[in-house]
């Protein structure tokens, strides 16, 4: 017995092909509608898969015809499959491959593969620390967009990178990525220990007082770390900016009154205080966070993204308007600069790139963040 499979548009087309190839003695064993072609579920076409058999011996032909006439008899329906497995090795291999593919898709952690150069971009973004959710969303949109424009087009590496840059710019428009406006009297800088908060404050003060000619003052409430107070005193002396140390909320109120005529008052805070609901509540009676103050959170790019997300959660008792990212010069992975706007919905005001005051403070823009992220990308 000879077994053969056809992919056709209709049953009538199948009958014509079978008759031409195998003659009038051929019998249709099985037919079903399938989806062929396409990519990621797009551009598929409906086809009819038909499996036929032919046997020159009259008795076997009759037996097959009887099977076709009585499909409701389950034992007889299984017979063609057994014959196919024995007689048609190619078909068996195809069914085996299909089974393996289905099993792979069922696995929850199955790795998604994309056509080049999108696969290389996905791998690079993963190494840069871009989260899986963001990475998969970006690459999927790029692949879909590419095939919608022209499913026969081969996308070059340069085109893929440019498409990714434009897609990121479009997505980051919704987040406030721009320098601080200083349109409120108080700038409150918060953040955990060791992220370069005091140096960042000095850089902002230098830019504001020297370049924008504003009258600036310092208040520090971070009295837990004596070194931090002394460091800020040194910067205040160099920049000729007055400084008040507030050991409690009463001292903070007096410092606020002392600097009533200043354009901008930068407040250096102790990060641990903002985990205390009572402190935050009492502080809000002295400074109106909505009307008087801008609050910026300082985090380090050397930290793991999950740790940065946890820090943001720790400071959730107050409204963080924008982030300042430090220590860019101490890392080679920049995925957090994309994760924070797109996943945490947090804008970025500045990127700190060293210890020099005020030079090593870069104004954040979507273009800068995207270019920095992709500067090390080389197509494999």
* Residue-wise pLDDT tens digits, 67-113: 445 455 454 444 444 544 545 565 665 555 555 544 544 444 445 67
Q: Mean pLDDT across the stretch 214-222? A: 92
Residue 157 lies in a domain: yes
- Do 21 and 132 belong to one domain? no
- Do 245 and 352 belong to one domain? yes
Residue 302 lies in a domain: yes
With tokens 């953040």, the residue in question is: 191
Q: Mean pLDDT across the stretch 110-135? A: 86
- Do 257 and 279 belong to one domain? yes
**Is residue 132 helix, strand or coil?**
helix
Q: What is the pLDDT of residue 130?
A: 95
Least confident of 46-60, 166-180, 193-207, 236-250: 46-60
The last residue of a domain, from among 52, 71, 106 = 106
Q: Mean pLDDT across the stretch 315-338? A: 91
- Do 165 and 86 belong to one domain? no
Q: What is the pLDDT of residue 65?
A: 47
In angstroms, the CA 53 to CA 59 distance is 14
- Do 53 and 151 belong to one domain? no
The last residue of a domain, from among 106, 126, 144 = 106
Residue 65 lies in a domain: yes
The last residue of a domain, from among 57, 72, 106 = 106
Asked if residues 12 and 20 have their Cβ atoms less than 8 Å apart, the reply is: no
Which tokens in the block code for residue 43? Answer: 């551009």
Residue 185: is its pLDDT beyond 60? yes
In angstroms, the CA 312 to CA 346 distance is 10
325 compared with 66, residue with greater pLDDT: 325
Residue 203 lies in a domain: yes
pLDDT averaged over every residue in the chain: 80
Burial classification of residue 253, based on how many CB atoms lie within 10 Å of its CB (0-12 exposed, 13-18 middle, 19 or more buried) = middle
Least confident of 177-181, 186-190, 255-259, 302-306: 177-181
Task: Compute the Cα dihedral for 189, 194, 198, 201 and give only its sign.
Answer: negative
Sheet arrangement for strand 27-36: 2-8, 45-54, 27-36
Note the pLDDT tens digit of each residue in 147-180: 655 544 578 889 999 999 999 999 998 888 888 8
Residue 267: is its pLDDT beyond 50? yes
25 compared with 85, residue with greater pLDDT: 25
Helix (H) or strand (E) holding 27, with range, is strand 27-36
Helix (H) or strand (E) holding 187, with range, is strand 186-190
145 compared with 273, residue with greater pLDDT: 145
Residue 371 lies in a domain: no
- Do 214 and 352 belong to one domain? yes
- Do 199 and 141 belong to one domain? no
Q: What is the pLDDT of residue 191?
A: 86
pTM of the model: 0.67
* CATH code of 302's domain: 3.40.50.300
Note the pLDDT tens digit of each residue in 37-73: 655 555 567 777 777 766 655 444 444 444 445 455 4
**Is residue 68 helix, strand or coil?**
helix
Residue 372 lies in a domain: no
Give which of 164, 172, 214, 208 is closest to 189, Cα–Cα: 208
- Do 8 and 91 belong to one domain? yes
The total domain count for the chain is 3
Asked if residues 135 and 122 have their Cβ atoms less than 8 Å apart, the reply is: yes
Q: Mean pLDDT across the stretch 326-330? A: 94
**Is residue 355 helix, strand or coil?**
coil
In angstroms, the CA 46 to CA 7 distance is 10
Residue 375 lies in a domain: no
- Do 122 and 269 belong to one domain? no
Question: How many C-beta atoms surround the C-beta of residue 356 within 10 A?
Answer: 11
Domain interval for residue 163? 118-172
- Do 293 and 322 belong to one domain? yes
- Do 128 and 24 belong to one domain? no
- Do 222 and 350 belong to one domain? yes
* 298 bridge partner residues: 324
Q: How do 45-54 and 2-8 pair as beta strands? A: antiparallel
Q: Mean pLDDT across the stretch 316-322? A: 84
Residue 307 lies in a domain: yes
């Amino acid at each position: 017995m000879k077994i053969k499979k056809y992919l056709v548009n209709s049953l009538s087309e199948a009958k014509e092909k079978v008759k031409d190839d195998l003659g009038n003695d051929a019998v249709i064993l099985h037919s079903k509608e399938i989806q062929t072609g396409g990519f990621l579920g797009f551009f598929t076409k409906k086809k009819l898969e038909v499996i036929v058999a032919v046997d020159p011996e009259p008795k076997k032909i009759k037996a097959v015809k009887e099977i076709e006439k009585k499909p409701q008899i389950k034992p007889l329906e299984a017979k063609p499959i057994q014959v196919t497995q024995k007689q048609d090795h190619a078909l068996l291999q195809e069914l085996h491959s299909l089974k393996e593919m289905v099993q792979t898709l069922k696995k929850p952690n199955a790795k998604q593969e994309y056509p080049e150069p999108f696969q290389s971009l996905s791998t690079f973004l993963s190494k840069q620390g871009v989260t899986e959710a963001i990475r998969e969303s970006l690459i999927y949109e790029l692949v879909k967009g590419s095939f919608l424009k022209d499913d026969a087009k081969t996308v070059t590496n340069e085109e893929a990178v440019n498409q990714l840059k434009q897609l990121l710019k479009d997505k980051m428009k919704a987040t406030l990525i721009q320098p601080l406006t200083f349109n409120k009297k108080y700038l409150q800088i918060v953040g955990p220990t060791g992220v370069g908060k005091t140096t960042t404050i000095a850089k902002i003060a230098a830019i504001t007082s020297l370049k924008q000619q504003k009258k600036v003052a310092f208040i520090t409430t971070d009295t837990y770390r004596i070194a931090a107070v002394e460091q800020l005193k040194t910067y205040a002396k160099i920049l000729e900016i007055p400084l008040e140390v507030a050991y409690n909320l009463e001292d903070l109120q007096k410092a606020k009154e002392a600097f009533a005529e200043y354009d901008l008052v930068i407040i250096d805070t102790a990060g641990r205080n903002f985990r205390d609901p009572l402190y935050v509540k009492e502080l809000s009676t002295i400074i109106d966070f909505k009307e008087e103050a801008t609050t910026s959170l300082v985090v380090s790019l050397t930290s793991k993204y999950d740790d940065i997300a946890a820090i943001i959660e720790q400071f959730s008792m107050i409204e963080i308007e924008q982030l300042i990212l430090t220590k860019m010069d101490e890392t080679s992975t920049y995925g957090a600069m994309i994760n924070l706007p797109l996943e945490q919905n947090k804008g970025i005001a500045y990127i700190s790139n060293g210890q020099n005051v005020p030079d090593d403070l870069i104004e954040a823009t979507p273009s800068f963040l995207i270019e920095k992220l992709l500067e090390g990308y080389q197509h494999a």
